Amino acid sequence: MRKTYLDEYKAKLITPEKAAQLVQSNYVVDYGMFATKPVDFDVALSKRAGDGLSNVSVRGTGTVLPVPEVIKNDTEQKTFQYFSWYFTAIDRAAGDFGLACHCPFNYHEATMMAYNDDFADCWPDVWCAQVAPMDKAGCFNFGLGNSHNRGMALKCKVAIVEVNENMPRCLGGSDEYVHISEIDYIIEGSNVPIFATPPSPAATPEERKIAEYIVEEIVDGSCIQLGIGALPNLIGNMIADSDLRDLGIQSEMFCDSMVRMYETGRVTNARKARDINKSTFSFSLGTKDTYDFLDDNPQCASSAVYTTNSPEDVARNDNVVSINNILEIDLFTQVCSESSGIRQISGTGGQLDFVVGAFHSKGGKSFLAFSSTYKDKEGNLQSRVKPLLTPGGIVTVPRTQVHYVVTEYGKVNMKARSIWGRAESLINIAHPDFRDELIKAAKEMKIWSRTNRISF
């Protein structure tokens, strides 16, 4: 007779309030990843502010709505400090008030740190994440946030799952579940709707031109990675409307436009090196339609982020095309994608992982894309191409790793170019209104010479 796990399930069932009592002063608590962030446990834990609990570190990854109560309810008591491995709008707002701090890392390293005993000092004392209901094998699926959840669940002192009947079941892949025997407690949550994003805004003319430059570089059989944001989604939709064939997907995030890529027959995953016939991803942030597509879909493989992001795994595929947004770039081609000066905007995430992996792929190309200008708070037009990065700006991609850079004014391959050649190439795709002052700055910094117009 098949074991039903019912008795074990009942024995491990606990209220959110009882679960919150397991947290002690000086503990580190991990809140799962992206849409797997717990809701009921968070509410219960926040109510312990001021009851003698102190110095509790709570870590999230890409915080989504609802805003964690441990942030909202602790402005006076100072019981909790919130940390995030990847900043979202919520994390940025909390960071502006000193209520959140960023944890920098390259995303593929998350799985390595979760399993490697050398990093035991970063393992959580308590881990809690939303999961799909237990299946007949006694497994709780991580749904939309695989990432490094399983590693954290196995290495913590106390592992708690918060069951949400609305969580899609995303098939593996790897590390997409935790078994009831591997956890300590079960919360039956209030089944709040899973966070979903609104549809992407309409593309600007600049974004459409950038997308055109990139899509023309994609060949049949390419393996696609799309980053977060409107531009990667636009590119995905343009791919869906193209006549490309046999595309594959290996991407940390499964985004909305990938559904259309399937619906129009662009994606088969037939030419991938691994997970053949499946799209490999580690988390999803998208609309409910995207979540419905992923639910119990054997065409997609939810995997630990090392599997999706490690440069060596990415490079095993031929013709990898990696597409990511950046915030600014300087004339040395140092790229900042995660901060505005010293203000943390997002995080390195998997950008560098895929920049490196795509370049090492046979026929692969990584594209760092951006509109050449933006308007500041006063409404003044500013260039994203700068002589030097904004003071305090974080280098997300070192100049040695930069491959293709794309604006609405063109694209350029920076590999094997001299410093002079890089400066000239970048100025040529900057907004025309800023090119003369960029040339002047390049001359002052001695990275422009009389031979520049014919330099390699």
Catalytic amino acids?
252
Q: How far is the C-alpha of 455 from the C-alpha of 418, rounded, in Å? A: 8
Which amino acid is it at 264? T
Closest CA to 54 of 82, 87, 31, 79: 79
Q: How far is the C-alpha of 187 from the C-alpha of 164, rounded, in Å? A: 9
Buried b (16+ CB within 10 A) or exposed e, 175-212: bbbbebeebbbbbbbeeeebbbbeebeebeebbebbbe
> Kind and range of the H or E element at 7?
helix 6-12
DSSP symbols for 271-295: T-SSSTTSEEEEEE---HHHHHHHT
Count the residues in the chain: 456
Contact between 282 and 327 under an 8 Å Cβ cutoff? The reply is: no
Buried b (16+ CB within 10 A) or exposed e, 23-41: beeebbbbbbbbbbbbbbb
> Kind and range of the H or E element at 324?
strand 320-325
Contact between 239 and 261 under an 8 Å Cβ cutoff? The reply is: yes
Half-sphere exposure of 341 (CA within 13 A, CB side): 2
Q: How far is the C-alpha of 272 from the C-alpha of 316, rounded, in Å? A: 8
